Structure 1
Amino acid sequence: MTGGARREYRTLLTDVTDHVLTVTLHRPDRLNAFTPRMMDDLLAVLDEADREDEVRAVIVTGAGRAFCAGADVSAGGGSFDHRETGAWHRDVGGRLALRLYASTKPVIAAINGPAVGVGASMTLPMDIRVASETARFGFVFARRGIVPESASSWFLPRAVGVQRAMEWVATGRLFGAGEAHAAGLVLSVHEPDELLPAARGIAREIADNTAPVSVALARQMMWRMLGEPHPMTAHRLDSRIMSQIGGGPDPVEGIESFLAKRPPDFPGRVSSDMPPIYPWWEEEEFRPLDEGRERRP
């Protein structure tokens, strides 16, 4: 990505401008329906974004009139038949959600049209969601005889509360951008031509004014504190991180640029300058729920 060189993806278009990586889901003839190939491409582009210090923020949007119309079910009634892999089957949307959760770069969803099924649930681990007035949302899993995927049973109630989440999931109904905004699912709603400029405005605010290491740490602190039962855990963590970074070059530049009333030029890089405590968590490994247990009826 650095210097304008970009990897080619089969289902995505990518562009890096002014430290912002824009990723466009690009299957417009299929309303950007989600496939395992798209998952692979998105995992790869997120890996690239994390490696490249040139990238300060990521925007994800869709080509054409849809964001993502959900899983590609062109295989017909057997589209969700995973009996061959059995207990070791891994939901492809869930693999993407977990990778987004682990990102060191903030991710902004610019939802330009219908976002249904995995098209809606894939946005939940993104940090900020903005929507076009033409956007429509639907957690339609119960209307397809399946269950919420992309780990959305974890993410969605945390975004909008369990009551609203359950109403959307239990009915599987479609709803508009206004309702999504009122519930807190999206930050703001824009006319179609103003959607990407709004997303880029947020991304540029990050890229132009903040320390990359600070943003990467803050992103993980925020997400990983969601499951903690007491604020003392956060106090211990932020105290430890502050003890490791407070005397470094980024805080010096932050204060000196503020006092001099000039734009900051933070020297820290996510690829090389994260504090010793990072990562402070143990990675979870995928294991089937029934591994090592007797099956229950």
Structure 2
Amino acid sequence: MNYVSTAVTPAISPFDHLGLTDVTAKLEDSILIVTLNRSRKLNGFSEKMSVDLVRVFQFGDQDDRVRVIVLTADPAAPAFCAGVDMEEVARGSSLLGRKEDSETEHRDPGGQVAMAIYNNRKITIVAVNGHASGAGLTALQLPFDFRFIWSGSKITMPFVRLGIAPESTSTYLLSRLIGEARAAAVLFSGAVMQPDSPVISNLYYQVLPNRTDVLPAALILARNISTNSSQTSISYSKGLLHHPGASIEEHHLLDSRAMKILGSGNDAAEGAKAFMQRRKPNFPDTLTKSLSPWYPWWKITDVRHPKSSKL
């Protein structure tokens, strides 16, 4: 007698090849949801977490199915991210620099994550549903386009109290986001603050009363953006914001060229048609097929490790 197997072959996740362990990822429609996966370690920022985050954000940047990337943590976890994993640091991980690296060779893993998020051509949103210290603020909040947070979150950047420098490009980002005076107050005091503090409150797009409210609120915005925004328009807009001209005249030349390029694209035609017909747009252009050779117009600095860049 021949038997027919009823076993179901497990679906292959599009993220299997990334080898993720310290974060998980799932794609819901056009929204990539990334969740920190070290709850038992207070979601401490590890070397492997930094690798996972760079890989998954690069995936989101390059995959046309993804329009928005949302980072969050399990709201039941003791913290959103309690900073770097100090046990790992004590074992000699690269988080504070390997002994074999010279001072010019070290590449801060938190900074690598921050750049992967900040330079991402898609919209990035973080849903902070717990306490955040160190890298939980620097690498995992500052580089994002939108920040949602639980009102009860305790936030601190304790670097001066630990005798180390602020990491994850935070001194570059924080002053641009809240101004140099407020950034100095956060960095130099090392104080524990909450989202409603006048020093940092304007960092946040929305402050929610309950931990469990944070991700749903972030997803409402994510869905709105994913269904109503053009990928190419988002990428050019972020480029102009992050890489402006050196003067208003130079910036005028940049956005004029961007207007000319995008104005002749399929998305502009669809946007105008949808507006006239009073319906939601269905933008056809993608980053892999529709970007002009002019993009990016800025010089990209090579930040690879000196030894690896010679391979």
User: TM exceeds 0.5?
Assistant: yes
1:43 and 2:54 are equivalent in the alignment: yes
The residue aligned with 2:84 is 71
Aligned to 2:86, the other structure's residue is in SS state coil
Structure 1 residue 135: deviation in Å? 1.6
The equivalences for 1:54-65 within 5 A come to: 54-63=65-74, 64-65=77-78
The residue aligned with 2:229 is 210
Task: Give the distance between the partners of 2:38 and 2:242, measured in 1 at CA.
Answer: 30
Q: How many residues align?
A: 285
Aligned to 1:241, the other structure's residue is in SS state helix
Unaligned runs of 5+ in 2: 1-11, 306-311
Task: Give the distance between the partners of 2:304 and 2:79, measured in 1 at CA.
Answer: 34
Structure 1 residue 183: deviation in Å? 3.5
Give TM-score, length-normalised by structure 2: 0.86
Structure 1 residue 167: deviation in Å? 1.1
Task: Give the distance between the partners of 1:260 and 1:220, measured in 2 at CA.
Answer: 30
The residue aligned with 2:182 is 164
Give me the identity figure in percent.
Answer: 32
Task: Give the distance between the partners of 1:44 and 1:82, measured in 2 at CA.
Answer: 21
The residue aligned with 2:196 is 178
Task: Give the distance between the partners of 1:94 and 1:185, measured in 2 at CA.
Answer: 19
Task: Give the distance between the partners of 1:287 and 1:25, measured in 2 at CA.
Answer: 25
Q: Which of residues 144, 149, 172 in structure 2 aligns to 1:131?
A: 149
Q: Which of residues 104, 107, 132 in structure 1 aligns to 2:124?
A: 107
The residue aligned with 2:137 is 120
1:222 and 2:238 are equivalent in the alignment: no
Task: Give the distance between the partners of 1:143 and 1:196, measured in 2 at CA.
Answer: 32
Q: Deviations over 1:122-170 (max 9, x none)?
A: 1111111110122221111111110111011100001111111111111
Task: Give the distance between the partners of 1:213 and 1:273, measured in 2 at CA.
Answer: 7
Q: Deviations over 1:245-280 (max 9, x none)?
A: 212211110000111111111110011111231010
The runs of at least 4 aligned residues of structure 1 exceeding 6 Å deviation read none
Give TM-score, length-normalised by structure 1: 0.90
Task: Give the distance between the partners of 1:17 and 1:181, measured in 2 at CA.
Answer: 35
Aligned to 1:113, the other structure's residue is in SS state coil
Aligned to 2:197, the other structure's residue is in SS state helix
The residue aligned with 1:250 is 267
The equivalences for 1:7-26 within 5 A come to: 7=16, 8-26=19-37
Task: Give the distance between the partners of 1:277 and 1:265, measured in 2 at CA.
Answer: 25
The residue aligned with 1:292 is none
